[in-house]
């Protein structure tokens, strides 16, 4: 379970990730922006967070997470300029799907973080995928 209500700390935001089964705090993750969307990979090893700064942040929840060597414990996927408002993880093919304030849906390869497809929603702002 993710406590996505950010705690302000001089322009940093802290997100708490809890284990639903044990009720144990797994990790505190500090972000440089407010987080509006979260998603976990099916193995619950990698945490994706959509920021108001237009980035998708990626963090390992435990030592078993396989992040590229260049990433360390937290990195980001530069999505665009507008806020990331929703995220979903597609199990089939390991896709990360993001929606944004400007109405664009993006499909990412969750392993390589490469952008695969983009769709424009004509009605504007997206708040759920």
pLDDT on residue 118: 92
pTM tops 0.85: no
Q: What is the CATH number of the domain that holds 109?
A: 2.130.10.10
Is residue 24 situated within a structural domain? yes
Please enumerate, as own/partner, the contacts of 33-36 that have beta carbons within 8 Å and a separation of 24 or more. 34/6, 35/4, 35/6, 36/4, 36/83, 36/84, 36/85, 36/86
Whether 100 is covered by a domain: the verdict is yes
Angle made by CA atoms 38, 76, 126, in degrees to the nearest 5: 45
What are the average pLDDT values for consecutive 10-residue runs of the chain, which has 129 residues? Answer: 43 70 81 88 86 89 51 60 89 88 90 90 78
Phi then psi for residue 121, to 5 deg, are -90, 115
pLDDT of residue 74: 57
126 domain residue, yes or no: no
DSSP assignment of 35-56: EEEEEE-TTS-EEEEEETTSEE
- When divided into structural domains, the chain yields a total of 1
Half-sphere exposure of 84 (CA within 13 A, CB side): 28
User: In a 3-state reduction of DSSP, which class is residue 71?
Assistant: coil
* 11 closest CA partner among 54, 46, 53: 53
For residue 128, tell me if it sits in a domain: no
In a domain? residue 127:
no
Is residue 38 a part of any domain in this protein? yes
Which residues form the domain of 32?
Answer: 2-64+71-120
Which whole-number Å values give the CA distances from 129 to 28, 63, 70, 99, 117, in the listed order? 26, 29, 29, 7, 15
Count Cβ atoms below 10 Å from residue 99 Cβ, excluding itself: 24
Residue at 129 is within a domain: no
């Amino acid at each position: 379970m993710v406590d996505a209500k950010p705690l302000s700390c001089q322009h940093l935001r802290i997100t708490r990730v809890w284990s639903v089964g044990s009720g144990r705090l797994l990790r505190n993750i500090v972000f440089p922006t407010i987080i509006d969307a979260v998603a976990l990979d099916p193995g619950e090893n990698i945490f994706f967070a959509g920021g108001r700064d237009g980035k998708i942040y990626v963090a390992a929840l435990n030592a078993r997470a396989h992040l590229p060597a260049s990433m360390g414990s937290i990195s980001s996927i530069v999505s665009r300029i507008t806020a990331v408002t929703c995220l979903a993880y597609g199990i089939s093919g390991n896709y990360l799907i993001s929606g944004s304030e400007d109405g664009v849906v993006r499909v990412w390869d969750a392993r390589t973080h490469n952008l695969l497809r983009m769709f424009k929603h004509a009605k504007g702002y997206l708040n759920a995928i």
